[in-house]
Each structure stands twice: as structure tokens, then as C-alpha cells.
Amino acid sequence: MPRFECTKCGKEFPFDSALTRCTSCGEPLEVKYEFASPEIHKSEFLLEKYRDFLPFSRPNKALSLGEGFTPLLRLKKLGEMLGLHNLYAKNETMNPTWSFKDRGTICGIQYALDSGYSEVGTVSTGNMGASVAAYGSRAGMRTHILVSSSIELEKVIPISVYGAHVVKVEGDYGKLYYESLRVGEELGICFINSDHPLRIEGSKTIAFEICEQMSFEPPDWVIVPTSSGGNFRGIVKGFIEFRDLGLIDRLPRFIVVQAAGCCPIAQAFREGKEEIRHFGRPKTIAHGISNPYPPSGNEVLRILRRLHGIALTVNDEEIIKAQLLLAREVIFAQPAGAVPIAALDELVSKGIIDRNDTVVCVITGAGLKYLHSVRQVSHEITTIPFEQLSSALSNARPSGS
């Protein structure tokens, strides 16, 4: 039987307790297993394929929207530009609602149903809201999405289009994570928030897939855009489980990237602190990674210290540049999804990453929902009179050809 265990103090809780945080120390829980020679199965359903590594006795394929199984792309041009010979992107924009969140959401929904819930919810103004709305609707569950009252139209539409119950909440949005857990317990709503232990289980399948796609020869580095810390924890947990089970023989080194305008984890890391502090007012275009008080921040710091990881920041200008470069290669990521690419320059020039190292950037979410940051590309488009079509096209050819 799987169980929950506190990431800090090790206290254990039963799997059906529906807890997400330790009742003693308040830190996040994770799922622990007694693995009995698990196997990777042949299936096009993520929860079936990795069922021996996940806590579901009967995964329900009807809940699936086709999450996971995303490509690992070699970035040849970008690699050459940066002098990196083995640069890869794990393209999580290919998920059903265009971000990695779908992996964790299906795990959360399966868990909620297995635990007897008929209602689910989440707190999110971005991709997680869209993901839970879509999967909740698919599962036929009453689905509540709590968004910030200042949410823009461009952001709320991709959530509300799925037909979930969307509520704009005024007041301290940061405290809503904890308040939703409390109200959920009171009303019997399973809140699958950013670092819910079952989300971590979903994110670990990113690591599993990377291992398989690299023929179980793990990369030297894995770079992850990080906000709450849930996805990072899951990816690390996946590599650790495969290593402990002998499927790979070593771990990659892990790099957390945050936006300079909201970097509570990178700041605490730089200052050698054991706990994060509330960052104040986030100011970055990378909204997907702008949680000023990440609920798994302390656990991310513990992991970085334990595994000799690194945390660093990139600014908005670097992020937009990375978005445009990545689009040329050809993944259209949202700002938050492109931050690993933005970090490469510094990592290479400081000699942290060697030119021959194998590097996997996790590209967490797609750009189509967030067109604003790269609107400059539209300025390069010229308008011509109908009659000048031929000359316009030939003039656009590189000279000499």
C-alpha cells in the first residue's frame, strides 16, 4: 500500500487521509511505495503505462485526454549558437491543455475519484486552472476554479471555456492556497493545488519519459522553470525512483530557474537560507512562475542542497529573447516555459555546464494563450499592393540565390 510521508520530518499518513501537508510541521507530503519489481507496460494511457510506479489500482482510461508522451526534441540550431552539442527540449506544450499540468491533474482526478470525492477544485489564474477545468469536465465532476479577481480576459477564457465553476476571489490571493484546503476539507471538495502529492506523481512521469527517450542513459543536466516547486519535485522524484530501482545508474544534476521579478527560491538559495521568505509583489511577464510564496519552496531548497543542484534567475528581456529563439527551433513556449533556454547563456559562460554535457530543458507550457510578450514579431510584417506580389517575394530572397 502506498502512504504519504512528510518531506521534512518523515511523519507518515495513510494514503486515504486526503492530506496534502504534514499535520506536525506543515511541510508538503509525498507518496511513498513498497515497489515489488515494477515494470513499464505497453499502453498509450499514461497511468496504465506506469501503473507499477503509481498509486492507482485501477486507472480509468475514460478520464484521459491523451496527456504525456511528449517529444524530446534535439535543439540543434540553438545548441550550435550556444556551443552546446547535446541540447534537448522536453516539449510539454504538447499536452491536451498545453502545459505539463495535465500529468498532475489526471493523477489528482483519479485519486479524488478513488477516494470517493465527486467535486474537485484548484487555485490558479493560469494553466492549472485550465487543466483542472478540462479534466474535471471530462470526469463529470463538479469543478471549482478559484482565480484572482484581477485576472485578465485573455487568461480567464481558456479556463472558463471548459464549463467549470469559476470564481473570482478578492483579497490575498497568496493565502487562498491554504484557505482552499481548509474549505475543501469542510465541504468535501478535493483541491488539487500546485504541489498536491498526486501532482508530484504526475510530474515524475516527465522524468520517466526522458529516461526512456534517452535509452536509460540520463542527461547530465535537467533545467526546470519553477514556481510552487511541485513540478521540480516530481521530476527529481522520478529520476530518484528509477535510480533506486536500477533502471538508470546515476542522477542528472538539477537546475531551478526563476524570473528575477519573482524568485523566492533562487534568493533563499543564493543567501544559503533553509527557508524561503515571501517575495513581495511579483513583477515579471512569466506569470506561470510568479508565486511569491511557493508552498514547496523549502522542499526545493532541501533537494537542491542534498543533490548539489543550482537555482538561478533570468530577467524578462532574456525570457522574451529565449521565447523567440525557441520558436525558431520550433516550439512556441509561453514566457514561463522558455526560462530554461534563457538561463543557458549564463550556465555555459560561467562554465557550470560543459559544452559536451547533455542538457534537457523542460519547456513547461505553450505560448498561444499568452501572445502579448512576443507581439513585436508582428512589426516585421510588411504590407504590399496586390500588383507587387512577385517583386516582394523575389526581393525577400537572400541576395545571390
Ligand X SMILES: *Cc1c(COP(=O)(O)O)cnc(C)c1O
Residue with grid cell 511577464, as numbered in its chain: 285
The angle subtended at Cα 65 by Cα 97 and Cα 322, nearest 5°, is 30
Give the CA-trace dihedral at 371, 376, 377, 378, to 10 degrees: 90
Residue closer to ligand X, measured from CB, 46 or 289:
289
Which residue is closest to ligand X by CB? 365
- For ligand X, the closer of residues 60 and 293 by Cβ is 293
282 scored as a contact of ligand X (CB under 6 A):
no
Instruction: Give the one entry of ligand X, Zn ion, none that residue 230 binds, where binding means its C-beta sits below a cut-off of 5 to 8 angstroms depending on kind.
Output: ligand X
Give the sign of the dihedral formed by CA 193, CA 197, CA 198, CA 201: positive
Stretch 231-270 residues interacting with ligand X (CB under 6 A): 231-232
364's contact among Zn ion, ligand X, none, with CB below 5 to 8 A by partner kind, is: ligand X
Query: Is residue 230 at the binding interface for ligand X, with CB under 6 A as the rule?
Result: yes
Residues in the chain: 401
Q: Which stretch binds ligand X (CB under 6 A): 56-64, 65-73, 149-157, 222-230?
A: 222-230
Residue 297, interface with ligand X (CB under 6 A)? no
Nearest residue (CB) to ligand X, 289 versus 348:
289
In whole angstroms, the minimum distance from the beta carbon of 148 to ligand X comes to 15
- From 15-23, 65-73, 162-170, 226-234, give the range in contact with ligand X by CB under 6 A: 226-234
Question: What is the edge-to-edge ordering of all strands in the sheet holding 86-91?
Answer: 72-74, 86-91, 358-363, 221-225, 253-259, 310-314
Residue 43 as a binder of Zn ion (CB under 5 A): the answer is no
Nearest alpha carbon to residue 256 among 278, 274, 276, 231: 231
Among 4, 6, 195, 259, binds Zn ion (CB under 5 A): 6
- Site mask for ligand X (CB under 6 A), range 90-109, x = bound: ---------x-x--------
Report if residue 9 touches Zn ion, rule: CB under 5 A.
yes
Of 18, 22, 211, 319, the one binding Zn ion (CB under 5 A) is 22
| Contact partner at residue 180 from Zn ion, ligand X, none, CB < 5 to 8 Å by partner kind | none
235-to-172, 200, 202, 327, 362 alpha-carbon distances in Å: 30, 8, 9, 24, 10
Dist. CA 329–CA 73, nearest whole Å:
10
Kindly tell me the burial class for residue 345, based on how many C-beta atoms sit within 10 Å of its own C-beta (0-12, 13-18, 19 or more).
Answer: middle
State the Cα angle at 289 between 198 and 50, rounded to 5°.
Answer: 30
Strand pairing class (29-32; 3-6): antiparallel
Contact residues for ligand X (CB under 6 A)? 99, 101, 126-128, 194, 225-232, 288-289, 334, 336-337, 364-365
